Structure 1
Amino acid sequence: MNPIRIVIAEDDQQIAEIQQRFLERIEGFELVGIAHSLEDAEDLVDVLQPELLLLDINFPTGTGLDLLRKLRARTSRVDVILVTAAKEVDTLREALHGGIFDYILKPLVFERLQETLDRYYKHLQKFQTMESIVQSDVDTILPHSNMAKTYESQEVRLPKGVDALTLDKVRSVFSTDAGALNAEEVGLHIGASRTTARRYLEYLVSNNELSAEVSYGSVGRPERRYTLSRPSL
């Protein structure tokens, strides 16, 4: 994945410099601009089209929430992380209504920023690997989902050799009504070997998410073909 492009919008030059130095220590991100006013921040977002905006709230000419509303009104796709000293509950509620990714209180701590950016990187990475979604995708992508922690605990219990990201890729193959597929065909869909695909397929069979039947190919060799399990009536 290409580096995630970031714009900093912070009226205090020293704080902006601290954020810049923090970003330089975190791999996978590229700072493409710094704005010290709301007007400059709006221009940088329009011109540079970054994936992410680190936005303060208090500016001499208005608030970061004003800019957030403008961006959402014109359907800007930039994601926003607020970095602010504002501790009012109403401010947080309005920010959440504006669709922010996170809300970080000042003074900014490196580890807190790193944790948020790591989650954001995985967030974008997950979108890039999906062609369609299953419910577990939604539950992990939406930060306020009640199911998110439950799903994360399920991931911890996955057996050795089975990771959650590849498992979701296999699930997505069958979410498109693909019919009965063998391990080689599934492997082609997810970009993995037949052996790897079979390991994930058999895991899903053991969880009753898939069913497996033996069929005979054109040369008479038996093979297992997998389909979505149907709920019993």
Structure 2
Amino acid sequence: MKRKIINVFLCAAIIFSFSACKKEPGAGGRGSIKGKLYSGNINSPEFEITPECVEPEERVYLVYGDKLDGYDKDTRVSHDGTFEFKHLRKGTYQVFAYGYNPELPSSSGSNPVIKQVEISDARETAEVNDLIVYKRADRGGTSTIRGKLYAMYWSPGQQQLRGQGYVGDEVVYIKFGNSASYDDRIRTSHDGSFEIKNLRMGTYQVWAFSKDPQSPTEETAVLIDIEINERNQVIDIGDLEINK
């Protein structure tokens, strides 16, 4: 009987020893996970995401295993879009970043984009491919739209031109790609100039309101369509002419 009890304890010790040696995903290993974070324009999601469309300074999060809530580590993306999590054990991990959902353009920018990755060897560097988030058209872009608002002042009934020139403190509107209405409005400077910065690749509309020559009590939009198709573009639309 005594011998049987000893054998039971030995079996339990062996099982416990094996379970203790089986380590879960987490910190304390020699593996790592690296990748690159890309970004697109939620207002023009049809535009191609090129290798230059990286998202520096954004946070990327790491989850140990397959749990659904919270995260275990986070890091900021480098200037070239790269990120890395070091000193990890073997196992399955989730890497995610926040952005808009291109299938729901009206959603908030806090939708997690998740990629699952596995470290199968103790010293492996696992790669996260194509981690892509979508941002607003005017968040984190590198291009600019500029122009000047030029007004022609007419007598009542639009019969005689009384004066003309660049007009300050007037509202100019901009719409981003697939938006239903305008996304921003700015006032022109004293010399009639305006500038919209930090724009991503995509389509835009800029307009100001002008008196209708056929119906002076009503206004119509003088509208210009614009396409930004590369980074660091400066598009000068020249004079946007309105009647007043």
**Structure with greater strand share of residues:** 2
* TM-score (norm: length of structure 2): 0.26
- Bigger relative CO (Cα 8 Å, ≥ 6 apart): 2
The structure with the largest alpha-carbon Rg is 2
> TM-score scaled to structure 1, two decimals?
0.26
